[in-house]
């Protein structure tokens, strides 16, 4: 039973990231083919992320508090809504406000699913099922990588209609995974003879009583580190949202983009799976410094690239950039924060990533329309280098200030 639920939970993550690949990663490809400009695409990305920021706490609170509907039930309803919205990508064939709205809702709603999956982890563990989140997340990267390896080729051969078809297929897979997860989860509760309510008690502690402004005033160095995060994630967001424009600037196409994204995702797996081992050998501060350099080198290589092969080579720095930085930062926050401040620290980090995504999406589209992909990667390199310098200069100070 435990192995089944871990397998099904991994399948949920796989389907989640495959849908991200088909709809979000190929959003620029789809929207450019529908006649949208780069600036308009940037606005769609930016608005979608702003909407996600608004919806995430609402849905997370609903999942925590509702007694009538389980978190799996809420996720199933969200998946059905995405199925309906994805149909809009077939029905709305030309450039229109309706199509832009559908894309905004799809990207935002997909983002909202993530905290629901986190809440599902808690539910499964309450009935005695130990969930290996790291392995499940790495399986998401593996599924994304496998899809990206062939999706670009399919788009070149059959056109952009293959994207919503793939999206609907993946959502069916997600619904099947959720169905079996719920079925085995209910059995696990009965076998453990535990009363595991679907709502979580409203437990208040000192973490919830700390005002965010007061938290920033009391953790100035940590706030400066998070300003560095804005620089690092600027290039990360640019590569995620505008990879097709960058690849086309050196003579590539959607097939090449798919292969590059596939390699990028696959290279996340070994670092994330081995992170606990790395943590025993190296401090989080050291790994954050290495990752900061990795981000900078990766985008710098994309800037000087004059071929698809060189952009592909640049992605090998994913091993020591995003794949290393994300888990290192999460653990670093827990290490340096005082008791009662860890949640605020994680929230500030997440907020900075979201702010960066909104800013880079909007600015990236404008830069592409005014100039070209070379200018976009140059600006991204400068922003990332500045962010890396800020992190390298301050991360040890935050560690030393722990009390």
The pair of structure tokens assigned to 123 is: 């539910």
82-113 pLDDT, tens per residue?
A: 999 999 998 888 899 999 999 999 999 998 88
* Range in 37-41, 129-133, 275-279 the model is least confident about: 129-133
Give the whole-number percent of the chain exceeding pLDDT 70. 87
CATH of the structural domain 208-400, one choice from 1.20.1250.20, 2.102.10.10, 1.20.1440.120, 3.40.1350.10: 1.20.1250.20
Q: Are 34 and 94 in contact (CB under 8 A)?
A: yes
pTM here? Answer: 0.83
Question: What are residue 204's phi and psi, to 5 degrees?
Answer: -105, 140
- Which of 18-27, 44-53, 272-281, 335-344 has the least mean pLDDT? 335-344
Longest dimension (CA), the chain: 64
User: Which is higher by pLDDT, 333 or 241?
Assistant: 241
Which of 296, 257, 240, 267 is closest to 49 using CA atoms? 240
Structure tokens at 349: 């980090």
Structure tokens at 33: 């083919």
DSSP labels, 355-371: HHHHHHHHHHHHHHHHS
The top-scoring range by mean pLDDT among 7-11, 115-119, 131-135, 211-215 is: 7-11
Rounded distance, CA 322 to CA 320, Å?
7
CATH architecture classification, 2-192 = Up-down Bundle (1.20)
| pLDDT for residue 198 is more than 60 | no
Model confidence over 134-176: pLDDT tens digits? 677 788 889 999 999 999 999 999 999 999 999 999 999 999 9
Does the structure show a pLDDT above 60 at 203?
no
pLDDT over 50 at 330, yes or no: yes
What's residue 214's pLDDT? Answer: 77
Q: Is the pLDDT confidence value at 351 over 60?
A: yes
pLDDT reading at 131 higher than 90: no
pLDDT, tens only, 282-295:
999 999 999 999 99
Please state the length of the chain. Answer: 403
For the chain, the C-alpha Rg in angstroms (whole number) is: 21
How far apart, in whole angstroms, are the C-alpha atoms of residue 254 and residue 36?
17
Q: For Cα atoms 36, 38, 39, give the angle at the middle one, nearest 5 degrees.
A: 100
Task: State the pLDDT at residue 195.
Answer: 47
Higher pLDDT, 5 or 245: 245
Name the residue among 327, 369, 367 with its Cα closest to residue 346.
327
- Classify residue 317 by its DSSP letter: G
Confidence of residue 368 (pLDDT cuts 50, 70, 90): very high
Q: Where are the domains of the chain?
A: 2-192, 208-400
Half-sphere exposure (CA, 13 Å, Cβ side) for 344? 23
């Amino acid at each position: 039973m435990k192995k089944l639920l871990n397998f099904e939970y991994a399948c949920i993550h796989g389907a989640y990231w495959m849908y991200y690949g088909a709809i979000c990663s190929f959003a620029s490809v789809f929207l450019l083919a529908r006649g949208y400009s780069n600036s308009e695409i940037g606005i769609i990305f930016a608005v979608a992320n702003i909407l996600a920021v608004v919806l995430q706490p609402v849905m997370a609170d609903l999942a925590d508090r509702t007694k009538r509907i389980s978190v799996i039930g809420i996720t199933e309803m969200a998946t059905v809504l995405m199925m309906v919205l994805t149909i809009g990508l077939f029905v709305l064939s030309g450039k229109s406000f309706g199509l832009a709205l559908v894309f905004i809702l799809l990207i935002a709603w997909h983002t909202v699913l993530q905290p629901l999956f986190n809440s599902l982890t808690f539910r499964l563990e309450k009935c005695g099922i130990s969930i290996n989140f790291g392995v499940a997340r790495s399986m998401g990267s593996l599924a994304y990588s496998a899809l990206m390896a062939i999706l670009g080729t399919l788009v070149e051969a059959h056109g952009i209609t293959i994207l919503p078809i793939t999206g609907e297929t993946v959502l069916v897979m997600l619904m099947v995974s959720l169905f079996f997860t719920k079925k085995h989860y209910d059995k696990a509760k009965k076998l453990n003879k535990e009363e595991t309510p679907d709502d979580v008690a409203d437990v208040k502690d000192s973490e919830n009583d700390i005002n965010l402004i007061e938290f920033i005033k009391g953790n100035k160095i940590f706030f400066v580190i998070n300003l560095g995060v804005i620089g690092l994630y600027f290039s990360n967001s640019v590569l995620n949202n505008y990879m097709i424009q960058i690849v086309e600037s050196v003579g590539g196409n959607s097939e090449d983009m798919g292969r590059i994204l596939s390699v990028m995702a696959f290279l996340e797996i070994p670092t994330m799976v081995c992170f606990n081992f790395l943590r025993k050998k190296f401090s989080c501060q050291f790994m954050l410094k290495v990752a900061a350099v990795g981000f900078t080198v990766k985008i710098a290589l994309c800037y000087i690239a004059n071929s698809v092969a060189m952009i592909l080579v640049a992605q090998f720095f994913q091993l020591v950039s995003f794949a290393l930085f994300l888990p290192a930062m999460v653990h670093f926050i827990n290490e340096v924060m005082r008791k009662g401040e860890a949640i605020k620290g994680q929230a500030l980090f997440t907020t900075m990533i979201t702010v960066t995504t909104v800013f880079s999406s909007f600015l990236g589209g404008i830069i592409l329309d005014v100039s070209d992909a070379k200018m976009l990667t140059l600006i991204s390199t400068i922003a990332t280098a500045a962010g890396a310098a800020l992190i390298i200069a301050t991360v040890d100070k935050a560690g030393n200030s722990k009390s």
